[in-house]
Amino acid sequence: MASLLSVNIGEARHIAGLKSLTGIVKAPVPTARIDRLGLAGDAICDRKHHGGAEQAVYLYFQSDYDWWADELGHAIAPGTFGENLTIDGVDGTTVAIGDRFSLGPVLLEVTWHRTPCMTFAARMGDPGWVRRFHRAGRPGAYCRVLAGGAVQTGMPLDYHPFGGERITVRELMALDGARKIDPAFLRRALATPIREQTRFNYETRLADLF
């Protein structure tokens, strides 16, 4: 059975190698309330690239942490990658846009993938982390909040795969920075509840073809 392994929130703070404040360093808490903009008490310092209703909650999956443990040679504690919720019992490599997660009263819908940045690299203490994380293809998933409420560590969750086009977060991550994307893929992606920023981008790309 899938479950909520950890609930993680962070305060705005400085970390080595980074001038600006960041909320990426997160610590487990027993419970937190989720509303349409994310977890109460969780700091979002760079609102240009993080947060907002379309990327309100960031999920990472224990299956991917297990892979990283083998890759890095040591276990990784939940919250290390800056996720709000650490999920056990779901294969992160198969998670797709439109998939939903029910946690008690809370309902989340996957909208996008995590794109690694220099803040993440500073958090990991590895200048080459952005490339390494991207190459691994295990990005975790951003979600919008369809229904809010309180969540707590250890609670069971239900995973509901999207019944339409299956566009995985892994596939989308592989297209980061791509100048050209197959129009057929764009149309498939637009048939999903992908985040609005990307919807506008893909619709514009298609319109420019004609």
HEC letters along 38-53: EECCCCCCCCCCCCCH
Q: Look at residue 51 in the predicted model and tell me its pLDDT.
A: 84
Please identify which residue in the block is written with the tokens 């690694």. 116
Q: Which CATH class is domain 3-173?
A: mainly beta
Q: Look up residue 78 and give its two tokens.
A: 């939940």
**Mean of pLDDT over the chain:** 95
**Cβ(130)–Cβ(139) under 8 Å?**
no
Give the angle subtended at the CA of 51 by the CAs of 45 and 55, to the nearest 5°: 160
Tell me the average pLDDT across 91-116.
Answer: 97
Q: Look at residue 103 in the predicted model and tell me its pLDDT.
A: 98
All residues at 6 or more sequence positions from 9 whose CB lies less than 8 Å from its CB, including other chains: 26, 27, 29, 32, 39, 41, 42, 43, 84
Tell me the average pLDDT across 166-180.
Answer: 95
**Cβ(109)–Cβ(100) under 8 Å?**
yes
Give the number of residues written for the chain.
210
Neighbours of 73 (CB within 10 A): 7
Q: Look at residue 121 in the predicted model and tell me its pLDDT.
A: 96
Summarised one tens digit per residue, pLDDT across range 6-61 is 999 999 999 988 888 999 999 999 999 999 999 999 988 777 777 899 999 999 99
- Given CA atoms 39, 117, 4, 57 in this order, what sign does their dihedral have? positive
**Cβ(72)–Cβ(102) under 8 Å?**
no
Q: Where are the alpha helices (DSSP H) in the chain?
A: 62-72, 118-124, 129-136, 169-174, 183-190, 196-207
- At 1, is the pLDDT very low, low, confident or very high (cuts 50, 70, 90)? confident
